[in-house]
Structure 1
């Protein structure tokens, strides 16, 4: 057996390009040369020369396109017994052609996902694979070939950036390609999820394995799935879209369209446009939205790498939530992310806020988690601008209890002592808005720290009617000059904010950054009169930093006072009779020369 294989391998290596072209012409001319078919398939290999691969590909593609409609489906081979095969030689021939076609497609996919293949050759191979996907059986989308192709791309140990870019740019504008991409991605994500679980359970048994269970290859596969999902354009019919493009001749089969078949279109090459009278745009949009939802939910169940986890959270509220069939299905993923804390919670806040305000999600511990995020490091975080805008929006409700508004106000006031000037600027604006929205906590601004215990208890009781725990507002144990606020407390109801004052803000009256003390002066106004005051926009200053503040100050034009008299001497001569305050010109020249020497050195 080994000698036979060696002989075949030797014969293959002895062929030149001209002989290979002759084999292809013979195959296309007559069935008597059908034995050239398996030989030509052997040249479709990552180890073969690109010229040999291209020449074999052109011949085999031309051959299979003519016989593709006569090939039996994979399911029909199961019901064929040996008696039928012996009675029908033509059926045996077609089954053999079907097997060789599968081998040919497999070889094409191997070349496409190989890191050794040339980029130009990959483009040609990609077009050939997608042509067979388009022709398929009876002109419908050949999903089995497309799924095998995407499976090979995701499971390949190579990055395949150029191949993925070509696939996205050439074929993701077609509706049927997007539809079956979502279906395939869902299956791949489920497969990776199960393999990841097996890898955790059998880590010791697979330490020397080189398959996909290795963490590096698993992470690469997850990154590829995310790239594919994020590059599919959303199918949105809000703009009144009435037409859409199909890659295959008949588009989606009737099984995916709720039993409503499609009218056949002309079998011309190239993509076809299906009008709304053939298939309703709303029907196809509903189907794609459902597959889009299943694909993303399956992907989000994976153990995402940290860098990819952050990227997904940042874009989730814009790229995913608006196109889900039921966005509330993301609540588990987002609440888990929000409970992690730190920068992950900040990134999950945008999407979680959308679910709460637009889709009716109830999250009882939302404000406690938000309160815990107020730490000095948040003022240096990359996404602090969006966080401050959402923080301002979350605290806008007039139904917010007084104890909660006071806790956030006091926590921000304490942070103003340790944050950069840009952070202090944002904090004072947030405090200004909180005091204007919630008049019940305005006593924090004017409370005297040296008041007696009796006055403190009476004054604070007037503002604790809406508190969650009225006992926390009891100031009978308070001492004059001592701040009862507990900055280390994570529960805002137990922070004693109602027993404190905003003395930290008073220290910012003479801050070296003029915008800070200017906003502090605004707090002296009577903010309870809402008709005479307005809220300050957080969006305009939320992304400020040392660099932006410095550039803003440097670009300002300062008015210089006019010079009325030319000063020639520091003291008039009349004050010192007998003295002449005049520098000799020679000494002036000598000093100038010395100064030039020093500067040049």
Structure 2
């Protein structure tokens, strides 16, 4: 304790000018090499001014020595000098590693000064640029990314934003970022496997939060790397290090990384290199991109990351993979989960099926199972219904399958909001136009077969209670709404009576849209399919907005030529007449029998 107090006292007594003098002495002569440990101690000082001054001195000292520190052999005149030089360089390497460790700690600490963290990031990336004998130092960069991923920093920390905005525009930084992230993903995957096999439940629960945070940061870095745009023609790629990495020779120490050209080239000279072509760059970048993403998707992704990945996979990942079919296992597993996850996986799965030849035998059965009332309130419902419309567009679709989707959607129209009913009408309209073989569902009546047989045996023609003949009584609907297999729903024996009920819907846009459906089906030459995207993102607010913008020619007004004597007219209640006295109200039926309504009036109906 006493030694620590003396040490802190010395720091307090030392001014910034004295600290600057220590750095100047270190740079001027090797005899002041003992100032190096003192400057390393000041780098951890809580005062950012002391830490910054120490950082600048240490950076100026180590930068010219980095080629000697990276070389394995030391040339000297005698064996004694060689041994002394070897010991000296070994000691400097250890101090340089301590320096890097301190820089990593400062950069990943949320308590550090933001300006100091920005200078530290620039220092680390400068060492990455020149520390490997003038080549890109992938080892330092990997250690830096590893520290970021396994630190307590949040996903939206300023360090990650600075790294992305300043350095991800360089193609060599992107290249080695893919390599480093793939290595870290494999490490996390091994840790997760070991936890599942041998760890106790308590230790496994303790390791989950840290792994989830690491996965979120890995995804943040992966998703923020810009894709290789214009790779077929553009060859003027901007690189952080001036020495090219895309060469034919490979590094013996690491087969995953390409070796560097030892002679420095200017950026303008890279265009004359035959190896640095657009095709070679695209091929190698796609290979690293694919390995990093495929490895990442094997991890146990948190639910929020899982949904975000599925929402953007078809736009940000699939077009840049070397072989998109590699995603089929991940997407089919996601599609089989059900619910919102299946809805979000549908976009990428549809791209693989239509553009990359993926065969999915149970695709339409899974798609049919996704049609539930909750889907009309989902966040990604707009894209989902557009995909359903695209998936059911093929004229080679069997009639029973088209009829099952028509009937399922029609049944959902009875329980969804008005915006959902508009989508359903649009989808059913397109299905009926594309598949004329199921148009009989529009006019097919549901007649009870047992009732018809009974009426045929009995010719008495006795009227029912409602005054209709029992032979014309409507029967049951043979459609099985709870059946998950579209083949077994009996949709071909049913009709679209649910759509007909929407003619009297309380929402005017729904009733108007249904009324136009029959006209579109009769005059097919003059009408076209409905754009589902115009209705897929609808809500109560959009419907209300459309209604208040409509120009109404006839407006219902509460206007009476004579003062009404009752709340309801006699025509609203057939069989009843109302006579009001000053004492008590009396209702008189058609038989002129007065009914006392003072206590509990009861309606009497004449049969």
- What TM-score do you get using the length of structure 2 for normalisation? 0.81
Aligned residue number for residue 17 of structure 1: 16
Runs of 4+ in 1 over 6 A off after TM superposition: 2-7, 83-86, 257-261, 453-456
Indicate which of 487, 490, 493 corresponds to 2:481.
Answer: 487
Note if contact 1:338-1:345 (Cα within 8 Å) is conserved in structure 2: yes
Q: Matches of 1:320 and 1:231 in 2, distance apart?
A: 12
- Higher mean C-alpha displacement, 173-182 vs 240-249: 240-249
Aligned residue number for residue 91 of structure 2: 96
How far 1:413 sits from its partner (Å)? 0.8
Q: Matches of 2:258 and 2:545 in 1, distance apart?
A: 64
C-alpha distance after superposition, 1:345-364 (max 9, x if no partner): 11111011000100111111
- 1:233 matched to 2:231: no
- 1:66 matched to 2:61: no
How far 1:300 sits from its partner (Å)? 1.0
Indicate which of 331, 346, 349 corresponds to 1:349.
Answer: 346
Q: Matches of 1:502 and 1:196 in 2, distance apart?
A: 52
C-alpha distance after superposition, 1:500-542 (max 9, x if no partner): 1111111112223333233323443474875443111101111
- 1:190 matched to 2:212: no
Indicate which of 552, 555, 558 corresponds to 2:549.
Answer: 555
Structure 1 unaligned spans of 5+: 457-478, 572-601
Q: Which has the higher contact order (CA 8 A, sep 6+)?
A: 1
Query: Aligned with 2:502: secondary structure?
Result: coil
Q: Matches of 1:174 and 1:382 in 2, distance apart?
A: 36
Aligned residue number for residue 381 of structure 1: 378
Structure 2 unaligned spans of 5+: 252-256, 454-472, 564-607
Indicate which of 284, 296, 299 corresponds to 2:296.
Answer: 299
Aligned residue number for residue 476 of structure 1: none
Aligned residue pairs, count? 532
Aligned residue number for residue 40 of structure 1: 39
How far 1:9 sits from its partner (Å)? 6.3
Note if contact 2:246-2:280 (Cα within 8 Å) is conserved in structure 1: no
Q: Matches of 1:208 and 1:417 in 2, distance apart?
A: 47
Query: Aligned with 1:246: secondary structure?
Result: coil
Indicate which of 123, 126, 129 corresponds to 2:121.
Answer: 126
Note if contact 1:249-1:265 (Cα within 8 Å) is conserved in structure 2: yes
Which structure 2 residues correspond to residues 219-258 of structure 1 after superposition, within 5 A? 219-238=212-231, 240-252=233-245, 254=247, 255=249
Q: Matches of 1:359 and 1:387 in 2, distance apart?
A: 20
Q: Matches of 2:425 and 2:278 in 1, distance apart?
A: 51
Which structure 2 residues correspond to residues 1-400 of structure 1 after superposition, within 5 A? 11-12=10-11, 14-45=13-44, 47-73=45-71, 76=72, 87-159=82-154, 161-204=157-200, 207=203, 214-238=207-231, 240-252=233-245, 254=247, 255=249, 262=261, 264-265=263-264, 272=267, 275-278=270-273, 279-400=276-397
Distance 1:318-1:455 versus aligned 2 partners, 3 A rule? farther
Note if contact 1:199-1:206 (Cα within 8 Å) is conserved in structure 2: no
Tell me the C-alpha RMSD between the 2 structures.
Answer: 3.1
Q: Matches of 1:263 and 1:104 in 2, distance apart?
A: 27
Aligned residue number for residue 402 of structure 1: 399
Indicate which of 539, 544, 547 corresponds to 2:538.
Answer: 544
Q: Matches of 1:25 and 1:263 in 2, distance apart?
A: 32
Distance 1:158-1:521 versus aligned 2 partners, 3 A rule? same
Q: Matches of 1:131 and 1:189 in 2, distance apart?
A: 26
Note if contact 2:353-2:359 (Cα within 8 Å) is conserved in structure 1: yes
Query: Aligned with 2:445: secondary structure?
Result: coil
Distance 1:455-1:285 versus aligned 2 partners, 3 A rule? farther
How far 1:393 sits from its partner (Å)? 0.3
Note if contact 2:23-2:35 (Cα within 8 Å) is conserved in structure 1: yes
Query: Aligned with 1:507: secondary structure?
Result: helix
C-alpha distance after superposition, 1:215-250 (max 9, x if no partner): 222211111111111111111225732311110121
Aligned residue number for residue 448 of structure 1: 445
- What TM-score do you get using the length of structure 1 for normalisation? 0.82
Note if contact 2:246-2:281 (Cα within 8 Å) is conserved in structure 1: no
